[in-house]
A and B are shown apart, each in its own frame.
Chain A
Amino acid sequence: DAGVIQSPRHEVTEMGQEVTLRCKPISGHDYLFWYRQTMMRGLELLIYFNNNVPIDDSGMPEDRFSAKMPNASFSTLKIQPSEPRDSAVYFCASSLTPQGALATNEKLFFGSGTQLSVL
């Protein structure tokens, strides 16, 4: 499997523009997560989905951020309008539903991230 695939790898845009980040999870994984990483705040969970349904979006910073998962193999994170403070690395991760009491397959697989710069 190719792993979690994110695109684009780098995105440079101007303040006020719409930005769309894309993610393809590992085939068969039923959980998908969006994280944001900055020097100041570290790695933060923004939102996660189970079977394409958003479960918890409490980490989404404000209404300018939205995420969708139209099918099991694709998710988008959109920022509209973008601001310089949105500059960060955005990671997508996927996982399987844990099996068994010890959740032996409980692990997150991360993509390579999208480096977003808003000027």
Chain B
Amino acid sequence: DAKTTQPPSMDCAEGRAANLPCNHSTISGNEYVYWYRQIHSQGPQYIIHGLKNNETNEMASLIITEDRKSSTLILPHATLRDTAVYYCIVGYGGSQGNLIFGKGTKLSVKP
């Protein structure tokens, strides 16, 4: 079973920031937080991951709380192409074969 809890759906206006929450209260000390997204009919796409510190890349920012029990993925300026299912996953890494994808959050970006 997935170790994360995400809202099933969210809406966001185009051009605004999309903030996607994730709860992972049972995360272990050396487990990472990963975010992937899946656009309709495509394979999942890696977005970002982190351990303790906040992380930023060209796609998004990841904010992890100090107790590591929750995190937020931020898409700073959402576009229509960001409409997708976003998966928050905790684990030791894909190479450990334990990235378990839950139901995710369906983000709908509206004009």
Contact = CB atoms under 8 A, between A and B. Distances in A.
Interface residues of A, number: 26
A2 interface: no
A14 to B, nearest CB: 24
Q: Is the interface of B mostly helix, strand, loop or mixed?
A: loop
B51 interface: yes
A95 B98 CA distance: 13
Contacts of A56: 97
A112 interface: yes
Contact of A43 (B44, B46, B51, B94): B44
A98 B100 CA distance: 18
Nearest to A103: B93
A110 B44 contact: yes
Nearest to B48: A107
Interface residues of B, number: 20
Contact of B95 (A4, A35, A98, A113): A98
A108 B97 contact: no
Interface in B36-63: 36, 41-46, 49, 51
B41 to A, nearest CB: 8
A110 B95 contact: no
Contacts of A45: 97, 99-100
A110 B45 contact: yes
Contact of A112 (B43, B49, B95): B43
B38 to A, nearest CB: 8
A109 to B, nearest CB: 7
Kindly name the residue among B43, B46, B49, B93 whose own CB sees the greatest number of chain A CB atoms within 10 A. Answer: B43
A68 B27 CA distance: 33
A56 to B, nearest CB: 5
Interface of B: 32, 36, 41-46, 49, 51, 87, 93-95, 97, 99-103
7 contacts: A43-B101, A45-B99, A55-B97, A103-B49, A106-B32, A106-B93, A109-B46
